[in-house]
Amino acid sequence: MKLWQKDKDALHAVTEFTSGNDRTMDLHLAPWDVLGSLAHITMLESVGLLTSAELKLLSGELKNLHKEITNGHFVIEPGVEDVHSQIELLLTRKLGDVGKKIHSGRSRNDQVLVDLKLFFRAEIESLTIPVRELFGLLIEKSEAHKNHLMPGYTHLQLAMPSSFGLWFAAYAESLVDDLICLQAAYRVSNKNPLGSAAGYGSSFPLNRRLTTELLGFEDLNYNVVYAQMGRGKTERILASALSNFAATLSKLCMDATLFLNQNFGFISFPEELTTGSSIMPHKKNPDVFELVRARCNDLMSLPNEVALVIANLPSGYHRDLQILKEKLFPAFKTLRDCLKMLHLMLSNIEVKADLLKDEKYRFLFSVEEVNKLVLQGVPFRDAYRQIGLKIAEGQFKASDQVHHTHEGSIGNLNNDRIMAMMESELKNFRFGDAQVAIEKLLR
Ligand code: ARG
């Protein structure tokens, strides 16, 4: 028998295949689906598409459902396609035909769009918590170790003196720029697509401004075709924001594994934070850094994965978009876990003092010696030659003291400025606006 003859088994296979991972992925969307519906029915009543008695019934039941969901008592039953169908099913089981009325003037296409935007907003907010914590720790460590010098490298060759103060705070400042990109992703997520229906609007006199306000969005996706085009695009922008953090963390891990290597020996960790070997009894391996590095490198492929799934799709809804959930949803937790693990590791880092007293590092100070001559009036090129000759003749001696005073240098880290930037970027998100609206909607 052929598929299109719609025998029952084939139908079942198609339903299962097309639901795919939605029954688990959509659990993340459940509370947001309820909130989207609450806003939608409030608006429907305001334009005369529901009576106030119907609104009262429906919103009471949706609020109950929201409680059940947040208490972890929500499942998508076998045979039910997705979260939207499950919630409508629960409503009609409880309230009868009035439950079906919540779908006037909308499609699952804009329903999932608004769920995703609300979910992304919340995930972005919760991501900023471990980001801020790691940032704070990095600044704290930078201050604590600002006088501990370490080698700076270019081409992975000894270059100039650096410090642990610089090293830690470099990653703190990197997180600030990552946060700026995340803010762009937040702003893109913070626009209301609800009311675009299947992607072409509705002949009902929907009040899209009202649902925008009720859900605490900054603005609307006005054009209904664009609202639908935002699916995939939002995910791609978000993926690239996540991948920026991943790149920062991955580089930090690479540094840490290198500095922990015995030939460097700059840092160490308590034994319980490292792992042993089943054959070599002396081993203390940096597995946490390696796995964070691998997870983060993997996260960096996410923008590409999203871009390829949506490549060449014309405007309008396509079921392809559903796959993006399983790509993007787990990434938030992965990144949060990585941030938390790095926080744990770095909270316990031990830094070796007096590293640069070792003879093998003396050439790091060659530029310091050149600069001393320059300050005595010798032109830079001549001073460079003089020191170069001394090095070649084996006569080079240097003090291991550095006097760097300009902004962002060893002697003037400007961590206060970096902290101020972080605080101001965090404020710019205005998470409070969304929180206030959601609390009001649930009241
Ligand atoms: N599970 C679907 C998705 O994530 C929901 C929208 C279904 N819309 C449709 N036209 N089949 O895209």
Whole-angstrom Cα Rg for the chain? 29
Token pair 């953090």 is found at 245
Which DSSP symbol is given to 4?
Answer: G
Contacts of 82 (CB under 8 A, 6+ apart): 19, 22, 23, 26, 76, 108, 112
For residue range 307-352, list pLDDT tens digits in order: 999 999 999 999 999 999 999 999 999 999 999 999 999 999 999 9
Contact between 365 and 371 under an 8 Å Cβ cutoff? The reply is no
**Closest residue by CA, ligand 1 atom 10:** 109
Report which of 306, 341, 82 is spatially closest to residue 185, judged by C-alpha positions: 306
- Helices H, strands E: what count in the chain? 16, 6
- Kindly tell me if the per-residue pLDDT of 113 is higher than 90: yes
The stretch 421-434 carries a mean pLDDT of 98
**Closest residue by CA, ligand 1 atom 2:** 322
Complete domains list, the chain, with CATH: 12-103 (1.10.275.10), 108-356+416-442 (1.20.200.10), 358-412 (no CATH)
More confident residue, 382 or 275: 382
Distance of CA 221 to the CA centre of its chain: 23
Between CA 228 and CA 113 the distance in angstroms is 7
Which DSSP symbol is given to 313?
Answer: P
What pLDDT is recorded for position 317?
A: 98
Which DSSP symbol is given to 150?
Answer: E
Token pair 């961590």 is found at 415
The stretch 228-252 carries a mean pLDDT of 98
Q: Phi and psi at residue 196, in whole multiples of 5°?
A: -80, -10
| Token pair for 67 | 């409680």
For residue range 155-211, list pLDDT tens digits in order: 999 999 999 999 999 999 999 999 999 999 999 999 999 999 999 999 999 999 999
Contact between 231 and 151 under an 8 Å Cβ cutoff? The reply is no
Between CA 410 and CA 146 the distance in angstroms is 7
> Please, where are the H alpha helices in 20-51?
22-25, 30-46
What pLDDT is recorded for position 1?
A: 44
Distance from residue 328's CA to the centre of ligand 1 (Å):
16
What pLDDT is recorded for position 4?
A: 52
Contact between 188 and 434 under an 8 Å Cβ cutoff? The reply is no
Between CA 276 and CA 279 the distance in angstroms is 9
**Closest residue by CA, ligand 1 atom 4:** 322
More confident residue, 14 or 122: 122
Distance from residue 25's CA to the centre of ligand 1 (Å):
13
Strands 267-268 and 219-220: unpaired
What pLDDT is recorded for position 90?
A: 96
- Kindly tell me if the per-residue pLDDT of 3 is higher than 80: no
Distance from residue 324's CA to the centre of ligand 1 (Å):
12
Cα-Cα-Cα-Cα dihedral of 190, 194, 196, 201, to 10°? -140
The stretch 267-279 carries a mean pLDDT of 86
Between CA 229 and CA 103 the distance in angstroms is 21
Between CA 217 and CA 122 the distance in angstroms is 12
What pLDDT is recorded for position 79?
A: 86
pLDDT band at 278 (very low <50, low <70, confident <90, very high): confident
For residue range 34-84, list pLDDT tens digits in order: 999 999 999 999 999 999 999 999 999 999 999 999 999 999 998 899 999
**Closest residue by CA, ligand 1 atom 5:** 108
Distance from residue 81's CA to the centre of ligand 1 (Å):
9
Contacts of 351 (CB under 8 A, 6+ apart): 145, 148, 164, 266, 267
Ligand 1: lining residues by beta carbon, under 6 Å: 22, 82, 108-109, 112, 317, 319, 321-322
